[in-house]
């Protein structure tokens, strides 16, 4: 059975190449800036690739690790997620409140149903890797992120008393949803790649709680209008958990010689782009070194999306496509040396453009050319696998008719 979410992820990855190209052309002043395109650029990756992939693999991962049967595709959930996404793709660029609310509500419902599906998976929970709690907690943060995101341009941040809504939205989705789901995926992937668990259950439990509570502080902080009493402990907890996870990951990949291929570097280096804003945050808050706080807040999310989420997905999406679409038992991490250099150099140029104001346009244009090249390499790799799987499915149908 072809996994329909993974097909959609590869599709949105291909669309993301086009909008990266658009960003390069607008930075070179070749075409005018189009309203809503920055939103599309971010969300083709965050919703189109990341969320679709998560919906595609989480039920199978949880069931597989517990020794339960892989659940059949829930087409109701697929429909809600994808219909919601289409509504937002139309509604956000045209700032149409009815479409935005409809889109947000459909995706919210899809996430609720996915949580219900994951909780209902049987088998023996004690046999699992302990990843399910990472997934469930990440999805709860996604619900919070959707609630804030849907209200961002339709004005319900005020009745909900959200002090700094855009930051609260980014924090719930990045530090909450993406961080926790990525951590769960690493917990599930590493045994398949190295034959050993990523860490002891105790260590993983500590990482889980530090990440979950850390994300709570990081969401409540901007929600309460920039409250440092909750933000700072949240930051410290989340940062400690992320660094611990990264050390465990690097050790496991190194001990199995996996750094000989670009995929392991993609996974590990991707974390530089979520750690960097955290390291600069105290300098902005304490006003040290004349940091351009407003420019960092406006631009750094792009490096976070391409450098961290995108890069992590470059490594795991081809793996998922090979494992789930092609049923290849030898599936391995994706990415190549070109995509590795392009995505990291591109993200570095985005940051460079924040500080070198006079060179900002050419630096950002060059960055998006590089990020587009990295995306293209990822699409090529995942696309070849997907087309092979579709061809195989077509031949199977042809044989039976
Ligand atoms: C129903 C789902 C979602 C809705 C309605 C939504 C809505 C929005 C809106 C309205 C903005 C503000 C754009 C602006 O002011 O420039 C935004 C920004 C952002 N969102 Fe979402 N979002 C959703 C899901 C997500 C997810 C799942 C993620 C991450 C995993 C995410 C990450 C971000 C980021 C990083 C930004 C900042 C982009 C930038 O400034 O470049 N969003 N979102």
Query: Is 382 a residue whose pLDDT tops 60?
Result: yes
The pLDDT of residue 268 is: 98
Q: How far is the CA of 376 from the centre of ligand 1 (A)?
A: 23
Pick left, alpha or beta for residue 226 (phi over 0 → left; psi -120 to 50 → alpha; otherwise beta).
left
CA–CA dist 115, 134 (Å, integer): 12
The residue among 277, 274, 301 whose CA lies nearest residue 179 is 274
CA–CA dist 377, 339 (Å, integer): 6
Angle at 105 between CA 102 and CA 111, to 5 degrees: 145
CA–CA dist 223, 136 (Å, integer): 22
Give 349-372 pLDDT, tens digit per residue.
999 999 998 999 999 999 999 999
Choice among 41-50, 83-92, 250-259, 321-330 with the minimum mean pLDDT: 321-330
The binding-site residues of ligand 1, defined as CB within 6 angstroms of any ligand atom, are 38-39, 42-43, 46-47, 50-51, 88, 104, 107, 145-146, 149-150, 152-153, 166, 169-170, 173-174, 177-178, 301-302, 305
Q: How far is the CA of 13 from the centre of ligand 1 (A)?
A: 17
In ligand 1, the atom with minimum distance to the C-alpha of 142 is: 27
- The number of angstroms, rounded, from the C-alpha of 350 to the middle of its chain's C-alpha atoms is 19
Among 38, 43, 141, the mutation site with the greatest number of ligand 1 atoms within 8 A of its Cβ is 43
Percent of the chain with pLDDT over 70: 97
The pLDDT of residue 401 is: 67
Q: How far is the CA of 264 from the centre of ligand 1 (A)?
A: 28
Contact criterion met (CB below 8 Å) for 101 and 154: yes
CA-closest residue to ligand 1 atom 33: 170
Q: How far is the CA of 227 from the centre of ligand 1 (A)?
A: 22
Average pLDDT over residues 302-306: 95
CA-closest residue to ligand 1 atom 36: 170
CA-closest residue to ligand 1 atom 6: 149
In ligand 1, the atom with minimum distance to the C-alpha of 100 is: 5
The pLDDT of residue 1 is: 60
Residues 6 or more apart whose Cβ sits within 8 Å of residue 14? 379, 383
The residue among 264, 266, 241 whose CA lies nearest residue 254 is 264
The pLDDT of residue 32 is: 61
Among 38, 39, 98, 104, the mutation site with the greatest number of ligand 1 atoms within 8 A of its Cβ is 39
Angle at 241 between CA 236 and CA 243, to 5 degrees: 95
Q: How does residue 282 score in pLDDT terms, banded at 50, 70 and 90?
A: confident
Q: How far is the CA of 383 from the centre of ligand 1 (A)?
A: 26
Between residues 58 and 124, the one the model is more confident about: 58
Q: How far is the CA of 323 from the centre of ligand 1 (A)?
A: 30
Q: How does residue 28 score in pLDDT terms, banded at 50, 70 and 90?
A: confident
Between residues 93 and 346, the one the model is more confident about: 346
What's the CA dihedral at 114, 120, 126, 127 to 10 degrees? -70
What's the CA dihedral at 332, 337, 338, 343 to 10 degrees? 80
CA–CA dist 377, 299 (Å, integer): 24
Contact criterion met (CB below 8 Å) for 386 and 321: yes
Average pLDDT over residues 30-52: 83
Average pLDDT, rounded, for the chain = 92
Between residues 375 and 37, the one the model is more confident about: 375
In ligand 1, the atom with minimum distance to the C-alpha of 39 is: 13
Percent of the chain with pLDDT over 90: 73
Q: How far is the CA of 400 from the centre of ligand 1 (A)?
A: 45
Contact criterion met (CB below 8 Å) for 364 and 293: no
Burial state string for 15-50 with b = 16 or more CB within 10 A and e = fewer than 16: bbbebbbbbbebbeeeeeeeeeebbbbbbbbbbbbb
Q: How far is the CA of 232 from the centre of ligand 1 (A)?
A: 23
Give 114-132 pLDDT, tens digit per residue.
999 999 998 777 776 789 9
Contact criterion met (CB below 8 Å) for 163 and 224: yes
CA–CA dist 288, 283 (Å, integer): 5
Give 122-181 pLDDT, tens digit per residue.
877 777 678 999 999 999 999 999 999 999 988 888 899 999 999 999 999 999 999 999
Among 149, 294, 299, 313, the mutation site with the greatest number of ligand 1 atoms within 8 A of its Cβ is 149
């Amino acid at each position: 059975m072809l996994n329909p979410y993974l097909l959609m992820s590869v599709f949105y990855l291909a669309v993301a190449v086009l909008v990266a190209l658009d960003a390069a052309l607008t930075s070179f002043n070749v075409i005018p800036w189009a309203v809503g395109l920055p939103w599309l650029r971010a969300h083709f990756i965050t919703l189109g690739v990341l969320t679709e992939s998560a919906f595609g693999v989480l039920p199978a991962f949880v069931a597989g690790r517990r020794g339960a049967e892989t659940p059949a595709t829930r087409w109701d959930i697929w429909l809600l997620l994808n219909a919601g996404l289409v509504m937002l793709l139309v509604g956000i660029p045209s700032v149409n409140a009815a479409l935005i609310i409809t889109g947000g509500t459909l995706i919210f419902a899809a996430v609720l149903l996915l949580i219900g599906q994951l909780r209902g998976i049987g088998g023996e929970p004690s046999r699992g890797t302990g990843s399910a709690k990472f997934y469930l907690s990440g999805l709860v943060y996604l619900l919070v992120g959707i609630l804030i995101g849907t209200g961002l341009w339709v004005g319900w941040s005020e009745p909900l008393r959200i002090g700094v809504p855009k930051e609260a939205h980014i924090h719930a989705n990045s530090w909450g949803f993406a961080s926790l789901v990525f951590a769960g995926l690493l917990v599930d992937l590493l045994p398949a790649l190295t034959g050993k668990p990523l860490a002891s259950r105790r260590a993983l439990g500590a990482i889980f709680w530090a990440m979950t509570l850390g994300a709570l502080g990081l969401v409540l902080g901007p929600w309460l209008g920039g409250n440092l009493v909750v933000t700072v402990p949240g930051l410290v907890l989340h940062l400690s958990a992320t660094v611990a996870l990264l050390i465990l990951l690097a050790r496991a990949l190194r001990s199995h010689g996996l750094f000989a291929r670009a995929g392991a570097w993609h996974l590990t280096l991707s974390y530089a782009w979520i750690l960097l804003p955290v390291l600069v945050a105290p300098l902005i808050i304490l006003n040290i070194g004349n940091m351009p706080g407003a420019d960092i807040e406006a631009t750094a999310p792009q490096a976070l999306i391409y450098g961290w989420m995108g890069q992590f997905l470059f490594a795991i999406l081809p793996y998922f496509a090979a494992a789930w679409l092609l049923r290849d038992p030898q599936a391995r991490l994706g990415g190549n040396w070109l995509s590795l250099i392009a995505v990291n150099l591109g993200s570095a140029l985005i940051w460079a453009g924040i500080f070198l104001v006079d060179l900002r346009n050419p630096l950002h244009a060059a960055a998006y050319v590089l990020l587009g090249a990295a995306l293209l390499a990822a699409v090529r790799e995942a696309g070849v696998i997907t087309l092979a799987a579709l061809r195989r499915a077509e031949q199977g149908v042809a044989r039976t008719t």
